[in-house]
């Protein structure tokens, strides 16, 4: 295997692998893997009339939709409240890797609560809260959703989401290495899908894209996750006012506690026409 990893233009990389089969035969074949690169997120803000810059996070991500990722990160962390507070978003990286640093400049007069930035500088692609420096910093100031007064989704729609998400995952087909976040209407129609090596990045990209389009709140939509449902993903969904969160895999105990606290419907193990409802059962219509 003489060839090193070769980066392509579509969020994949090519590599030569030894593919081993059940009879112990080995074939040298080309393979595709998901790209993972660091993204530094910086904010520009006005302090006494002077524009200052501050690096707030480095996250490992799949390149693409970086502006949406940066905007979604700031929104779901509770640092900004809407796209109206954004003056500009641009790449500002150094020569050689110009697109691995994004700076989001805030409008003059935007007030920043720097306590919400109390996190270690580096965030891995697998965890969105590992960098939090204290339990108090886990809170983004999200308010509970209004109690559900009506059902909004049927079991048939929920059961249809995994296949719809999987069909729309273009890069996953070739690499098998990406998480996906899908936003659906309550009739099961896919609105938007984002892929990334990081679960929280995929959600930030999706929510950031919707925020930049002026579509927040997403109070009649469904968030579907290709993996497990964790605390930080529930909290991000609540910031966007998404009432129903469903996932292919299991939720964590903290995710269930958060969903209950925020009056969110949380569904797990959506597979083979079955699923578990952990909280918010009243939003599901079981009538034929």
- Residue 278 tokens, joined: 């952990």
Buried residues in 52-84 as b, exposed as e (16+ CB within 10 A): eeeebbbbbbbbbbbbbbbbbbbbbbebbeebe
Which residues are annotated as catalytic?
Answer: 127
- Residue 169, pLDDT score: 82
Give per-residue pLDDT as tens, 158-187: 999 999 998 888 655 555 568 899 999 999
Handedness of CA 244, 179, 119, 57 (dihedral sign): negative
Contacts of 206 (CB under 8 A, 6+ apart): 68, 72, 181, 182, 183, 192, 193, 194, 223
Is there a contact between 254 and 260 (Cβ–Cβ < 8 Å)?
no
Instruction: Flag whether pLDDT at 43 surpasses 90.
Output: yes
Residue carrying the six token digits 């993972």: 36
Share of the chain above pLDDT 70, in %: 81
Instruction: Flag whether pLDDT at 133 surpasses 80.
Output: no
Give 107's pLDDT tier (boundaries 50, 70, 90).
very high
Instruction: Flag whether pLDDT at 121 surpasses 50.
Output: no
Q: Which of 58, 54, 36 is nearest to 130 (CA)?
A: 58
Give 32's pLDDT tier (boundaries 50, 70, 90).
confident
Instruction: Flag whether pLDDT at 36 surpasses 90.
Output: no
Contacts of 18 (CB under 8 A, 6+ apart): 1, 26, 27, 28
Mean pLDDT for 101-108 is: 94
Give 21's pLDDT tier (boundaries 50, 70, 90).
confident
Query: Greater confidence, 3 or 15?
Result: 15
Q: Which of 259, 253, 270, 240 is nearest to 80 (CA)?
A: 240
- Beta-sheet strands, E only, within 62-198: 86-91, 101-106, 122-123, 179-185, 190-196
- Residue 138, pLDDT score: 47
- Residue 112, pLDDT score: 86
């Amino acid at each position: 295997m003489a060839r090193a990893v070769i980066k392509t233009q579509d969020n994949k990389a090519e590599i030569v692998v030894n593919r081993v089969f059940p009879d112990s035969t080995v074939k040298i074949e080309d393979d595709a893997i998901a790209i993972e690169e660091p993204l530094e997120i910086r904010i520009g803000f006005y302090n006494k009339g002077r524009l200052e810059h501050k690096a707030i996070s480095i996250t490992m991500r799949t390149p693409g939709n970086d502006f949406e990722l940066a905007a979604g990160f700031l929104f779901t962390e509770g640092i900004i409240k809407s796209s109206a507070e954004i003056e500009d978003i641009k790449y500002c990286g150094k020569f050689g890797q110009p697109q691995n640093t994004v700076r989001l400049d805030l409008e003059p007069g935007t007030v920043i609560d720097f306590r919400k930035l109390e996190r270690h500088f580096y965030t891995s692609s697998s965890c969105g809260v590992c960098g939090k420096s204290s339990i108090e910093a886990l809170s983004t100031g999200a308010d509970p959703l209004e109690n559900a007064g009506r059902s909004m989704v049927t079991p048939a729609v929920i059961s249809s989401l995994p296949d719809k998400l999987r069909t729309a995952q273009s890069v996953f087909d070739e690499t098998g290495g990406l998480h996906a976040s899908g936003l659906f209407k309550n009739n099961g129609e896919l609105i938007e899908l984002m892929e990334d090596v990081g679960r929280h990045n995929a959600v930030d990209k999706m929510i950031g894209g919707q925020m930049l389009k002026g579509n927040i709140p997403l109070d009649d939509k469904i968030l579907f996750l290709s993996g497990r449902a964790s605390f930080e993903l529930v909290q991000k969904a609540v910031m966007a006012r998404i009432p129903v969160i469903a996932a292919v895999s299991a939720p964590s105990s903290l995710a269930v506690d958060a969903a209950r606290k925020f009056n969110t419907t949380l569904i797990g193990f959506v597979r083979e026409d079955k699923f578990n409802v952990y909280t918010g059962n009243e939003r599901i219509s079981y009538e034929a």
